[in-house]
C-alpha cells in the first residue's frame, strides 16, 4: 500500500560533484515512509500510478517554482547548547568549554529546562529542513531520554547520545560522570531505552555512544565505551582533531593522533562520525577510510574554535564519507543550507589564503576549493553515507526524508529569473540565498512534519 504519491521536480546528488535533476518525476511513498518507486515521465507505469493516486485522494503535485530536495542531514548538533547559539563566540575552545558551555550543559539536570530547550530546538531544526540530526545531549540520562522522546514525538530522525566525560583533570566537579561505571551504565541504559521506545519500531531514533572527546575521558571510560559499541553495534560520535590545543593534548597524553587513539579503543567503526577533524592528515584519512568512518565537517564552527579549515577537497577526493554539521552552538546558525555555503566559502579561503601581506603564490593551499554541488552532496548524500542509513537521496528504497523548497515565496532573499536561471542555477541560489521561509514542507519517513 502507498501512503501518497508526489509529482514534481527532484534535485539531488547521487554522485559527489554532480547534480541529478528529475523533472515531473512521480515518487510513490509506501505506508512505512519508504520510496517504493520513482517513476520518470514516459515510463510505462507512470500514468497508471498517477491515476491510482488521484483516485485514492493521495496525490500531491508541486507547483511551478517548487522543488523536492532530500532533507538536510546535520551530523553534529549539541542540543543543550541551543540557548547560547549566537552568543559567547569570543573565547578559544578550552575557555569557552570551561566558562560558558559546561555551566550551561550542567543545567540539564533540570528536566523542565531541558524540555523547553529541546522542544524549541527540534522545531527550529525541522523548520530549517533538517530531517536528520546527530545529537550530543549532556551527561544526564533522564534529559537525554527526553530529547529522544521529543524527536520521536515531533517526527525528526535523530541519533542521540548521552555525553560521556569523566576525566577529573579536564571536567569540572559540577559537570562530570560520577564514575566510569556510572557513565557506562547510563550509556547502556540510554541504548536500551531508545531501542525499546514504543512508536520507534522503524528506528527513526537511534542511540549513539558519545565520548565527548579524548581530553574529557579517562582511558578506562574509552575502553568501556569501546566494549559497549562492540556489544550493541551502535553508532559512535566524538570530536576529532578539532583545534591545535585538542590535537596537541592527545599527542601529549597518548603519543598518538586522535584517529589512532580512537581506533585503539575500538571507537573507529563504520558507524562512527568524527566531528571537525580539521587537523587530520593523509595518514588519518587512510585509517578513517579503512574503518569506513564518517566525518562531520562544521565549517562555520571551525572559523571560531578550530582556527583552521578542514581539508574538504582532499577528503572528498579520497572518497571519505563527509557530511556537514552546524555544531550548534559553536556554529551559531541552525541552518545546514547556510553551512553548505560556508563550506564553499571556507574552502575558498583555504585555497586563496587570507593574509594579503603574503605574496599570492604563497598565500593559500592549492587545489582546496569545493563547489556548491559538493557542499550539497555533503549535506544530503554524504551525511546519509556517514551514518550508514538510506537517507539523503530521492531514490527507490530510501526513506522519504524530503523538503519542498518554494522559490516563489514573497519577501524572501531568493530571486529566480525564469529566463536566466536553469535548475542548477536555482539550486545554487537556494544554497546561497534561501532561508526557512522558502522551506514549504518537510517529511521524515513519509510523515509530514512541517507545512502542508
Ligand atoms: N570539544 C569538546 N566539546 C566540544 C563542544 O561542545 N563543541 C566543540 N565545538 N568542540 C568541543
Ligand atoms: Fe561540537
Same domain, 43 and 129: no
Question: Where a domain ends, among 334, 361, 387?
Answer: 387
What is the Å distance from ligand 1's center to 328 Cα?
10
**Ligand 1 pocket residue status of 301, Cβ below 6 Å:** yes
Same domain, 32 and 159: no
The CATH number of the domain holding residue 134 is 3.20.20.140
The confidence score (pLDDT) of residue 250 equals 98
**Is the Cβ–Cβ distance between 308 and 327 less than 8 Å?**
no
The CATH number of the domain holding residue 437 is 2.30.40.10
Residue-wise pLDDT tens digits, 189-219: 999 999 999 999 999 999 999 999 999 999 9
**Ligand 1 pocket residue status of 296, Cβ below 6 Å:** no
Domain count, the chain: 2
Question: Where a domain ends, among 387, 420, 440?
Answer: 387
Same domain, 143 and 55: no
Same domain, 29 and 151: no
**Is the Cβ–Cβ distance between 217 and 165 less than 8 Å?**
yes
CA-closest candidate to residue 323, choices 13, 11, 9: 13
Ligand 1: residue of 81, 93, 175, 237 to mutate (most ligand atoms within 8 A of CB) is: 93
Domain housing 330: 72-387
Same domain, 297 and 410: no
Q: Give φ, ψ of 183 to 5 degrees.
A: -65, -40
Same domain, 194 and 238: yes
What is the Å distance from ligand 2's center to 275 Cα?
7
The confidence score (pLDDT) of residue 54 equals 97
Same domain, 225 and 334: yes
**Is the Cβ–Cβ distance between 166 and 223 less than 8 Å?**
no
Same domain, 24 and 155: no
User: In this structure, are strands 20-30 and 35-39 parallel, antiparallel, or unpaired?
Assistant: antiparallel
Same domain, 311 and 174: yes
What is the Å distance from ligand 1's center to 450 Cα?
30
Is residue 117 within a helix (H) or strand (E), and if so which, with residue range?
A: helix 111-127
CA-closest candidate to residue 288, choices 350, 243, 238, 222: 238
Same domain, 34 and 163: no
Model confidence at 1: pLDDT above 90:
no
Query: Binning pLDDT at 50, 70 and 90, where does residue 44 land?
Result: confident
Please report where in the chains the cell 560533484 appears, as a residue.
17
**Ligand 1 pocket residue status of 213, Cβ below 6 Å:** yes
Instruction: Specify the ligand 1 atom closest to the Cα of 330.
Output: 9
Same domain, 89 and 168: yes
Among the bound ligands, the one closest to the CA of 80: 1
Among the bound ligands, the one closest to the CA of 273: 2
| Predicted TM-score of the model (pTM) | 0.98
CA 183/CA 141 separation, integer angstroms: 9
Nearest CA to ligand 1 atom 9: 330
What is the Å distance from ligand 2's center to 418 Cα?
40
CA–CA distance from 164 to each of 95, 167, 240, 320 (Å)?
20, 10, 15, 26
What is the Å distance from ligand 2's center to 239 Cα?
6
CA 287/CA 268 separation, integer angstroms: 9
Model confidence at 378: pLDDT above 80:
yes
Question: Where a domain ends, among 387, 404, 439?
Answer: 387
Same domain, 376 and 439: no
Amino acid at each position: 500500500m502507498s501512503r501518497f504519491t508526489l509529482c514534481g521536480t527532484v534535485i539531488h546528488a547521487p554522485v559527489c560533484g554532480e547534480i541529478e535533476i528529475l523533472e515531473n518525476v512521480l515518487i510513490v511513498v509506501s505506508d512505512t515512509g519508504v520510496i517504493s518507486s520513482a517513476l520518470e515521465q514516459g515510463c510505462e507505469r507512470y500514468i497508471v500510478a498517477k491515476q491510482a493516486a488521484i483516485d485514492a485522494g493521495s496525490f500531491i503535485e508541486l507547483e511551478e517554482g517548487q522543488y523536492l530536495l532530500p532533507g538536510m542531514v546535520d551530523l553534529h548538533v549539541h542540543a543543550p547548547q541551543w540557548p547560547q547559539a549566537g552568543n559567547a563566540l569570543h573565547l578559544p575552545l578550552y575557555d569557552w568549554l570551561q566558562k560558558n558551555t559546561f555551566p550551561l550543559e550542567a543545567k540539564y539536570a533540570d528536566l523542565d529546562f531541558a524540555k523547553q530547550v529541546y522542544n524549541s530546538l527540534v522545531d527550529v531544526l525541522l523548520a530549517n529542513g533538517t530531517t536528520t540530526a546527530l545529537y550530543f545531549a549532556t551527561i544526564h540520562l533522564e534529559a537525554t531520554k527526553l530529547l529522544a522522546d521529543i524527536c520521536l514525538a515531533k517526527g525528526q530522525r535523530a541519533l542521540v547520545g548521552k555525553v560521556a566525560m569523566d576525566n577529573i583533570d579536564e571536567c569540572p566537579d559540577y559537570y562530570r560522570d560520577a564514575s566510569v561505571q556510572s557513565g557506562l551504565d547510563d550509556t547502556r541504559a540510554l541504548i536500551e531505552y531508545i531501542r525499546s521506545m514504543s512508536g520507534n519500531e522503524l528506528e527513526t531514533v537511534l542511540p549513539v555512544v558519545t565520548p565527548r572527546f579524548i581530553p574529557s575521558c579517562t582511558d578506562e571510560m574509552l575502553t568501556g565505551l569501546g566494549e559497549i559499541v562492540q556489544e550493541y553495534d551502535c553508532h559512535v560520535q566524538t570530536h576529532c582533531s578539532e583545534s591545535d590545543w585538542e590535537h596537541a593534548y592527545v599527542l601529549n597524553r597518548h603519543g598518538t593522533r586522535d584517529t589512532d587513539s580512537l581506533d585503539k579503543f575500538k571507537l573507529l567503526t563504520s558507524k562512527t562520525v568524527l566531528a571537525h577533524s580539521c587537523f587530520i592528515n593523509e595518514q588519518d584519512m587512510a585509517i578513517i577510510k579503512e574503518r569506513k568512518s564518517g566525518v562531520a565537517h562544521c565549517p562555520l564552527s571551525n572559523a571560531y574554535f578550530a582556527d583552521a579549515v578542514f581539508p574538504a577537497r582532499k577528503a572528498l577526493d579520497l572518497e571519505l564519507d563527509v557530511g556537514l554539521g552546524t555544531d550548534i552552538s559553536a556554529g551559531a546558525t541552525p541552518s545546514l543550507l547556510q553551512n553548505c555555503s560556508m563550506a564553499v566559502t571556507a574552502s575558498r579561503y583555504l585555497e586563496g589564503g587570507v593574509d594579503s601581506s603574503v605574496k599570492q603564490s604563497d598565500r593559500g593551499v592549492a587545489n582546496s576549493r569545493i563547489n556548491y554541488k559538493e557542499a550539497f552532496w555533503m549535506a544530503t548524500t554524504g551525511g546519509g553515507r556517514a551514518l550508514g542509513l538510506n537517507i539523503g537521496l530521492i531514490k527507490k528504497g530510501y526513506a522519504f526524508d524530503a523538503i519542498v523548497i518554494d522559490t516563489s515565496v514573497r519577501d524572501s532573499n531568493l530571486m529566480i529569473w525564469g529566463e536566466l536561471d536553469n535548475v542548477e542555477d536555482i539550486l545554487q541560489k537556494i544554497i546561497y540565498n534561501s532561508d526557512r521561509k522558502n522551506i514549504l514542507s518537510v517529511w521524515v519517513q513519509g510523515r509530514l512534519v512541517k507545512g502542508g
